[in-house]
Amino acid sequence: MTQTPLLQVKGLKQYFNISTGLFRSTHLKAVDDVSFDINAGDTLGLVGESGCGKTTVGRSLMHLYLPTAGEVIFDGEKLAPGPVLDSFRRRAQMVFQDPYSSLNPRMTVGDIVAEPIDVHKLYQSKKERNNRVAELLDLVGLSSEQATRYAHEFSGGQRQRIGIARALASRPEFIVCDEPVSALDVSIQAQVINMLEDLQARLGLTYLFIAHDLSVVKHISNRIAVMYLGRIVEMASSVDLHRNPLHPYTRSLLSAVPVPDPDKARELKRIILKGDVPSPLKVPSGCAFRTRCPDAIPACADSCPLLREVSPGHSVSCIRIPVTGA
């Protein structure tokens, strides 16, 4: 029996109006026709270069930005302003990239963590609220005594733990992790990733994990989607994507991942892409990657390739990749 996804994103688009002169404007297509599903208890990794639109995907599906077009379906219900969206905002939370700017410097740690509890009125008494804050701080490796301190008194890794505790306060089922470790030291990154995995196992959480580091995404994700200029160009299981990357952009990203073994590193050939990432205001015709692609042919300029399944569970947006079987 096929499992019904907890989250379904269908044809999501997020366009921003950008002024180009006096009384003139154009659309910046930050996210352009993105679709994916996430099953309950799974993690989908969303990767790509800076500016590819991956953070906008997370913010749009959370309705921090009102999507230009498309559908977001959570637990079988389409998100729309009203009771459905209000319920979703309790059941879904977000961990932001920057642990320095995402915490209010004027609030104590206890009040920061308790904010979702206060907003959704999830306590009966002050004692219950304080007990919940202490429980959440303990859950992320901090002590209840630290609840009276302020965010500036903590290190980056500790601040991100506070952000994660805040995200857990409303007992969510789904969390968007927007590059939660990119601002942290490598040793602290591993601690936070391991903690997120432990919390997922203990609390039954479902993640959309946004990052630009494929090695981090591989460690935590069941499936990975690769974005380029607002579109998903490849999507597969974490194992399959690393063993058999099909899209030229995915292959170039994987070739840039550092290998700790110097002998193996010498054997691997780094794929250097030509040119710069095009402006999202002037996306090339046809396949947006063709201007940098080492395998591009004239037909790549004719039309934008659709994301299609070329082998079971492995989809790619490239006209040069043949379908290998059902």
Which one, of 28, 39, 32, 30, lies nearest residue 1 by Cα?
39
Mean pLDDT, to the nearest integer, of 74-78? 94
DSSP string computed for 34-99:
EEEEE-TT-EEEEE-STTSSHHHHHHHHTTSS--SEEEEEETTEE--TTHHHHHHHHHEEEE-S-T
Query: What's the pTM value of the predicted model, to 2 decimals?
Result: 0.92
How does the average pLDDT of the chain come out, rounded? 90
Average the pLDDT over 141-158 and give the result.
Answer: 92
Q: What is the pLDDT of residue 181?
A: 87
Per-residue model confidence (pLDDT) at position 270: 77
E strand residue ranges, the chain: 7-21, 24-38, 43-47, 69-74, 77-78, 92-95, 174-178, 206-211, 223-228, 231-237, 308-311, 314-316
Question: Tens digits of per-residue pLDDT, 262-316?
Answer: 766 667 777 778 878 888 888 889 999 999 998 889 999 998 999 999 999 999 9
* pLDDT tens digits, one per residue of 124-140: 999 999 999 999 999 99
CATH 3.40.50.300 fits 7-316, yes or no: yes
Residue 115 has pLDDT above 50, yes or no: yes
- What's the CA gap between 191 and 201, in Å, rounded? 16
46 neighbors 54 (Cβ within 8 angstroms) = yes
* The pLDDT of residue 1: 44
